[in-house]
């Protein structure tokens, strides 16, 4: 967890021990009575920070944790796959507390550019499944939601991000399944920008009921296999802007 408060011009530094005391108390409390979700924990913590730091007018809390979902492997067997769940909350002393729920998902993309070049070099028909290089992609999706709105679930966000990749990835794959996964990924080559576009398109479809001012953050980063750099795409927008 990361905790932040603003400082008035007249104060040299914050009382950081208050942050540690607050976290200790929250942990002790939640052992006895668990919270409903991570973003609500962040929101409550952000509000308590403003009470502890009487000089502060704004607070922000960020949290990240390991998260597991049951998945069906290509073999048909089931197992637990790891993800990251992330949450943020921002509180103003004389304003509204807002919170964000999000996920980080690891998947796979295949490069459209290299595939096109291979097609030209080999003078192949574009309908042929040409080889290209693979990339491990980290997709991040976050949605800002009103304080008392519980209509956004991390499981749904994970589904959205995974479907935006060329292919999901799995902890356990047999050799035949590895080959089939690579072939299927080659049927959906994507740039990092494509992953972001597909995430945002799915968000619009899924969350028609949320208002226009809701913030949406979508990121896609590919660990390039044939370059020394990574490829990165990001869109920070609102549902209203996307709807337009």
Q: Which domains are seen in the chain, by residue range?
A: 61-243 (3.10.270.10)
- Report the run of H or E that residue 181 belongs to, with start and end: helix 175-186
Q: Alpha-carbon distance 184 to 132, whole Å? A: 12
- To the question of pTM greater than 0.75 for the whole model, the response is yes
Condensed to tens digits (0 to 9), the pLDDT of residues 189-228 reads 999 999 999 999 999 999 998 999 999 999 999 998 888 9
Distance (Å) of CA 106 to CA 26, 60, 72, 137, 183: 30, 27, 16, 6, 18
Is the CA virtual torsion 235, 164, 190, 240 positive or negative? negative
Q: Alpha-carbon distance 73 to 65, whole Å? A: 23
Long-range contacts of 204-210 (CB under 8 A, 24+ apart): 204/239, 204/242, 204/243, 206/156, 206/160, 207/143, 207/151, 207/152, 207/239, 209/151, 210/143, 210/145, 210/149, 210/151, 210/152, 210/239
Condensed to tens digits (0 to 9), the pLDDT of residues 9-56 reads 998 888 888 888 888 888 777 777 777 888 989 999 999 999 999 999
Q: What's the pLDDT band for 144 if we cut at 50, 70, 90?
A: very high
């Amino acid at each position: 967890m990361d905790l932040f408060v603003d400082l008035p011009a007249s104060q040299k530094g914050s009382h950081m021990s208050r942050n540690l005391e607050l976290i200790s108390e929250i942990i002790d409390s939640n052992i006895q009575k668990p919270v409903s979700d991570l973003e609500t924990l962040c929101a409550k913590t952000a509000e308590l920070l403003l009470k502890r730091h009487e000089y502060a007018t704004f607070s922000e809390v960020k949290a990240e944790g390991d998260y597991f979902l049951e998945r069906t492997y290509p073999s048909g067997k089931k197992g637990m796959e790891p993800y990251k769940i992330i949450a943020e909350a921002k509180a103003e002393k004389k304003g509204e507390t807002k919170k964000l729920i999000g996920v980080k998902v690891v998947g796979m993309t295949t490069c459209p550019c290299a595939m096109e070049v291979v097609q030209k070099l080999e003078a192949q028909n574009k309908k042929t499944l040409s080889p290209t290089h693979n990339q491990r992609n980290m997709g991040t999706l976050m949605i800002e939601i009103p304080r008392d709105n519980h209509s956004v679930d991390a499981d749904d966000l994970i589904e959205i991000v995974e479907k935006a990749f060329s292919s999901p990835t799995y902890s356990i794959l047999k050799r035949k399944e590895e080959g089939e996964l690579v072939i299927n990924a080659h049927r959906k080559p994507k740039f990092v920008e494509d992953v972001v576009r597909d995430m945002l398109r799915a968000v619009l479809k899924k969350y028609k009921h949320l208002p226009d001012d809701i913030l949406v953050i979508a990121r896609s980063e590919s660990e390039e296999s044939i370059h020394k750099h990574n490829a990165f795409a990001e869109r920070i927008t609102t549902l209203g802007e996307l709807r337009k």
